[in-house]
Amino acid sequence: MGDSDSSLRDLPSVDRVLRSANADALGRYPRELVVESVRAILEALREGMRELADARVPSEARILAAAMGRIQAMTRPSIRRVVNATGVVLHTNLGRALLAPEAVEAVTLAAEHPINLEIDLTSGARGERDSLILNDLLALTGAEAGTVVNNNAAAVLLALNSLAQGKEVIVSRGELIEIGGAFRIPEIMAKSGAILREVGTTNRTHPRDYLDAINDRTGLLLKVHTSNYRVVGFTSEVALEEICAIGRERGLPVMEDLGSGALLDLSSFGLPREPIVAERIRAGADVVTFSGDKLLGGPQAGFIVGTTRAIEATNRNPLKRALRCDKLTLAAAAATLRLYRTSTNLAEALPTLRWLTHPIEEMERIGEEAVALLRATLGGRYQIEVLDSDAEIGSGAQPTQKLASKAIVISHPGIRPHDIANRFRRGEPPILGRVWRDRFWLDLRGIFAASDLVPKSTARPSR
Ligand SMILES: *Cc1c(COP(=O)(O)O)cnc(C)c1O
């Protein structure tokens, strides 16, 4: 007891610790931050020494080093690169689509320099920021007009509010979707000021259901792509073409929320087919909305394309100003759409397509190489092998279709799979896989270098 008290008195003051440091070390950070950190370390030591009778007073140099380490941990950038070995290509929690190099370059340019965001460089007159993307967007979708906002949820909200505020919107009960992150059609509808008029049943809706529900309060017929689930079995949905025929007959606009709307036919890359935006416009939809960072492979954005009349209504709406994209998003979107028109090899040019078309033999080769590296790094009694696995597109595209893939599967007789997962997640960069069937899986679909799968700094599995 007496010993510990005297040690406590021997703890140096903040000043003494600071005086012991050379100017270089102190100059690296603002003085207040260093002072605060030294104080925190001293406080922690004081606490520890009260509990441990035989605790020793560390040197000033060690206290300073601990304080510097604390600052380093505190000031590490909050955004960190992670390795996506989850097998979900468009992973919402990991930021969905990666940008093509051309889009990254456009973002950097827009961040570093003034740009022609809202100015017509020919006439010098004020321009529209949408014009940066409009030519390509219309060419790629075949629509008369279009615009872009922050995400597809905003696009749906804006379109409903612009076209059907205070009016009834007819939707099939089979399409009242919830997308992850609390996007629910009935709730977005309520916030838009439109009145939801559900028709049909969960599994079957017929044309007469729409016809019977139409009255003089009806403002819009809405179709929603059931992105993240399928109704199977005894089912019947009304095709967009039929809804459009009803709309034309009754003088009502038709809108489709297409979700991950592809711009081209994915089956030409051997992938499951997703509805294509241009087809939906050709089928007669007045408005189609879709995301920028799902299958399109661009930045987070929500595109609205359709008739001039419908798009003019969204552009007149004050909500448009609140939901408009910033210049970095527009730069990335413009460059991505341009690639669709100019690239001779989109599967190489767009990272999303590159992941989706990653050849299985190449995954296997990278997997074998990574297994050798992992055996050398992990050592011990880890069992590591390459097995067949199922990847998925993610973000609500083709929920029932798996993409054949390969994965490295890791287990250890004495370490639980969740603890193996923790070790990989706590490395630098963090490596994210999944625990399945009591083993830890690193899916190879999005891995193009074996070394990406080797944890660099290896925090030991906790417990
Ligand atoms: C993903 C999705 C949304 C939401 O799009 P965000 O771009 O994430 O806002 C809305 N509707 C459907 C059908 C979707 O698939």
pLDDT band per the 50, 70, 90 thresholds, residue 21: confident
Binding site membership of 255 for ligand 1 (Cβ less than 6 Å): no
**Would you say residue 60 has pLDDT above 50?**
yes
Binding site membership of 179 for ligand 1 (Cβ less than 6 Å): yes
Give, for 441, the enclosing helix (H) or strand (E): strand 439-443
Return the percent helix, strand and coil in the chain, to nearest 5.
45, 20, 35
Q: Whose CA is nearest to atom 2 of ligand 1?
A: 259
pLDDT tens-digit map of 251-294: 999 999 999 889 999 999 989 888 999 999 999 999 999 999 99
Which residue's entry shows tokens 């997997």?
A: 367
Rounded CA Rg of the chain = 28
Give yes or no for a cis peptide into 272 (omega within 30° of 0).
Answer: no
Cα 76 to ligand 1 centroid, rounded to whole Å: 32
Strand ranges for 40-194 from DSSP E: 83-84, 145-149, 168-172, 178-179, 183-184
Residue with the bigger pLDDT between 461 and 117: it is 117
Binding site membership of 421 for ligand 1 (Cβ less than 6 Å): no
Q: Whose CA is nearest to atom 15 of ligand 1?
A: 259
Residue among 226, 227, 228, 291 to mutate when testing ligand 1 (max atoms within 8 A of CB): 291
- Mean pLDDT score, 360-373: 98
- Mean pLDDT score, 224-239: 82
Both tokens assigned to 141: 């979708």
Q: What pTM value is reported for the model? A: 0.91
- Return the DSSP state at 306: E
β 254-259/287-291 pair status: parallel
Q: Which atom of ligand 1 is nearest to the CA of 228?
A: 15
Cα 152 to ligand 1 centroid, rounded to whole Å: 5
pLDDT tens-digit map of 158-212: 999 999 999 999 999 999 988 776 789 999 999 999 999 999 988 889 999 999 9
Q: Which atom of ligand 1 is nearest to the CA of 155?
A: 9
Cα 128 to ligand 1 centroid, rounded to whole Å: 26
Binding site membership of 183 for ligand 1 (Cβ less than 6 Å): yes
pLDDT band per the 50, 70, 90 thresholds, residue 463: very low
pLDDT band per the 50, 70, 90 thresholds, residue 24: confident
